[in-house]
Structure 1
């Protein structure tokens, strides 16, 4: 009930990928294997509900509007995650939890983990969590997450822990690091409805809110054979040339009128090209087109050049 009540508000923030999971399952099958700190469990024990939160390109105009209107966001070194996402989720969940329980409630720090937190006691393996719980495939070559409808045009923002019982999500999935080797590319639309949700691919605000995981769940997509100009060596060379900026570097604000046309750096171009290559392979092998969901160049400029073009 809490998650259902929170979902419209999350979408309003631009957080339009909402994916529930068992906290106990994450701790046992991911945190233990990767030597990561366990996520906290609450009154439901191992069946405590965790929620992986992500976004499509629809977050950008919402974030940009908030950045222009709120000084606190503009002053923040990391305006997207620390200035916009964290306080936005905390305010929303305080309202939802208070309404649900009838008493003043807040989402404490130890129940909200942001994607850019890399301290050992705060790090959550969000791409691996998304892969093994069925939200998105983690490409072993490019290390990009590929969603069955949105392609590589998604981002992870946070994991939150809710004091609810996740046992209704049974049966617990049996995750696999390998994709189904026997899957037929011509039949891959089956795995969309197999999850029990199949939003219109043109609806970029569609929320992937899974109610339960079907018994015998498997990921139905074939491995993406990165061949020719999309070879593993080619992509690894691009990755070695790309150095992501640190979150401590406050983005430089550019005025579209004063600074002229927007220009992406060579690094940003490489990252954009890499995502496009993976999207192309996904379209060829699975048949799902994701061009509608491609990030804007403004988003790319912000994420990889730390520049805000407004």
Structure 2
């Protein structure tokens, strides 16, 4: 009898302990979401300063894993779980963008697939838009305009583009840049005009995600126009958009400034203005010129073209001396 009582008491104690442990299990809440969102803001800031760095890609990937690990840490409401999945998707989309910017396209494809799956779990149209819009940019950089258009069309079909003209504007501006590499001048002009019209209708005070408010504005629209018209060989129009972009860029957009400056040099060279082109190219910050894959790639192309356009000229010699120093010395 005593033994049965002892066993029963032991069982009750174990059950009580389990209940107590369950009761004290960690509860994932909005403070965790806010912490993840702050880390995301830091990733965005690093991207605007440097862009394309493998370190940014790895950090964003690790933070996506941290967000997912949080899901198994404890209980959470359905709303909070959706927010956490949204944070994980946002981190993966930043890893994807860093890989695109760094021309690591195989890695970008992996991040894209992971980000798309997480965005579905989050059911967040804004992050879905970012991922599919980035997918269009990925295919554009890979020289695959048909797939770029298809991916960007998915982004543009989302409900958020109907609710907020700024999202519609970004989708149209990126569509126009894709038309540029497809050599479709008429479609590019039409899309840029529509993108500008949508931007003009957008409410500047509307509540939007940090990744959107930190980069998409009139300067970025002109940057995409610069990209499209440069690809089309309309160098005069490209140069005009380059100047507008550089005049409107916010101070924190260091990577964007380096890219736009490099494209301006290419547009000037395309018009035969060798001296202005060399001067512009030499103004690109050395760190970006040496270490940012897109900037470095464009400047290597510029190097070949200026030496073809003005071989043995004093301007070409000046540029070559600058380039040799820039690419050979550590920054």
TM-score, normalised via structure 2 length: 0.30
Greater helix proportion: 2
Name the larger-Rg structure. 2
Greater strand proportion: 1
Kindly indicate whether structure 1 or structure 2 has the higher relative contact order, using CA contacts under 8 Å at least 6 residues apart: 1
